[in-house]
Amino acid sequence: MKKHLPVILTGAVTGVIALALVAFGNPANMGFCIACFIRDTAGALKLQSASAVQYVRPEIIGLIIGSFLLSLLKKEFQPRGGSSPMTRFVLGMVVMTGALVFLGCPLRMLLRLGGGDLNALVGLVGFAGGVGIGVLALNRGFSLKRAYTQSTLEGAAMPALVTGLLVMVLLFPVLFAFSESGPGSLHAAVWISLAGGLIVGGMAQRSRFCMAGGIRDQMLFTDFHLLSGSAALLVVVIIGNLILGKFHLGFQGQPIAHTDGLWNFLGMALVGWGSVLLGGCPLRQTILAGEGSTDSAITILGMLIGAAICHNFGLASSADGATFNGKIAVGVCALILLAVTLLNSNRKGAKA
Amino acid sequence: MKKVDARGCACPEPVVLTRNAIKEDPSGAEVTVDNACAVENISRFARNAGYQVAAIKNGSEVTLTLTKP
C-alpha cells in the first residue's frame, strides 16, 4: 500500500483540484482536460477560429512548469529525444482527433464519469479497448526506437516556450483571441488555474501518474500500481460531486458531451491505442515534456496542430454528436495507427 | 542470466524487455536503464515476480540485477 501512496495521493489531489477549478469558473466536468485545454490554447493563438473555444489555459502551462521545477529539484530533469519525433507528432494529432470526437482526454473522461456522465463510461470501454490493442503491439515488440541525450537548451525549450506564452498573455492579452461565450469563456482566475496546474504537474512528475499507463500495466503485468491513481481520482470526484450536488447520473443533457455512443467509444479507442504507442496519456506527455523529453514536447505540438485541424475542418464533435467529417477522420486515424503499429513492430525487437 | 540494454527506451518498454528476458531465462537478468522511472517500474515488476533487485548506479545509468532469492 505504501508504495502506491504517491500515485493514489496524486489522483486524489488532482480530483480535488479539478472540482475546485470548476467551482472557481472552469466549464462543468472540466477542471482539467489536456486535449480541450491545448485546443483552447490553439484557439487563443489563432491557429483555429472556433470562437467558443479560445483561451490560453494556464493549467497546461502550470503542468509543464510544475513538472520542470520538480524534476530539476529531484535531479530528474533529463533532456532526451530522437525517438521517432515525426511519428510522435502524427500520433499527437491522432490522439487529439479521437479526444475531440469524444470531447475529452482520458483525464476529463474520468472527471465526466465522476459527474455521473454515462457517455464517459462508453468512452472508458473504448479507451480500455484501445489500450488493449496497444498492449498487443507492445507484446509483439512495438517500439518507436530509443531516445538519446540532448542538450540542456533542447530539453528546456518547451518549459521556456510555455513560460514565454504565460508572460506574453499576462503583459499583452490583446494579442490573443479570447472566447466571449462558450466553454472558452468559462475559466477560473489565471493564478488559480496556474497554481492548480503547478501542483498537479509537480505531483504527477513524482508519482508518474498516467491514465493510459494504469490500464496498460494492469493488462501487461497485472500491476495495479498506476491504476490505483485513476481509481482514487474517480472516487474523490464522485464523492465531491455528490457533496456539491453536481452528480447527475445519466446519458442525456451532460455538460460538453454528446450521446453518440459509437463515436464516444471509437474516439476514446483511438486515444487509448495512440497513448500506449506514445508511452503515456496526454497528461503524461505534458509531464514528460517538463522533464526534458523533446519527444513528448513534439507530441504536444502535434496535439496543438491536430486541435487546430479538428476545429478548422469540422472534425470535432459538439453537443449534437459527431460530425460527418469527424467520423471520416476517425477512420483515417485508425488506419494511421494501424500503419504505425505494424511498421514499428518486430517480434525480434521484443527480445533483449 | 540475460543482459538487457533498455537505455533510452520509453515506458513501458524496459519492463517488457525485462519480462521477456526472464521468460527466456528465469534465473534472473541484468538490465541497464537510464531514467528513474524505468528503475522504479522494473524494480516493482521484478519484486512482484519474486526476484530480488540490486541496483548499481553509474553516472546517469543504472544497472539492475535481478536474482531469485
CA angle at A21 for the pair A17 and A24, rounded to the nearest 5°: 135
Q: What is the CATH number of the domain that holds B25?
A: 3.30.110.40
Cell numbers 502506491: residue: A4
Instruction: For residue A302, name the pLDDT band (cuts at 50, 70, 90).
Output: very high
| Cβ-Cβ contacts under 8 Å, A147 against chain B | 8-10
Instruction: Count the alpha carbons within 13 Å of B10 in the hemisphere toward its beta carbon.
Output: 30
- Total domains, chain B: 1
Give residue A49's domain range. Answer: 2-350
Question: Hey, are the CB atoms on B12 and A208 less than 8 Å from each other?
Answer: no
- Statement: residue A350 has pLDDT above 70: no
Q: Are strands B28-33 and B61-67 parallel, antiparallel or unpaired?
A: antiparallel
Which chain A residues contact residue B20 at CB under 8 A? 350-352
Residues of B annotated as part of the active site: 11
Angle at A219 between CA A262 and CA B54, to 5 degrees: 150
Give chain A's domain count: 1
Q: Is the dihedral of CA A231, A234, A237, A239 positive or negative?
A: negative
For A182: left if phi > 0, alpha if psi spans -120 to 50, otherwise beta; the answer is left
Is the ipTM reported for this complex over the cut 0.90? yes
CB contacts, 8 Å: B13 with chain A: 138, 143, 279
- Under a CB-based contact definition with an 8 Å cutoff, are residues B43 and B33 in contact? no
CB contact under 8 A, A138 and B13: yes
* Cell numbers representing residue A275 in the block: 497513448
CB contact under 8 A, A208 and B40: yes
Residue of B nearest to A220 (CA): B16
> A253: Cβ–Cβ under 8 A, 6 or more apart, which residues?
none
Cell numbers of A277, please? 504507442
Q: How far is B10 from chain A (nearest CA, A)?
A: 6
**What is the tens place of the pLDDT at every residue in A110-158?**
999 999 999 999 999 999 999 999 999 999 999 999 999 999 999 999 9
Using CB atoms within 10 A of its CB, is residue A201 exposed (0-12), middle (13-18) or buried (19+)?
A: buried
Measured between beta carbons, the chain A residues lying within 8 angstroms of B17 are 350-352
Q: Check residue A335 and give its pLDDT.
A: 98
Q: What residue numbers bound the domain in which B11 lies?
A: 2-67
B11 touches chain A (CB under 8 A): yes
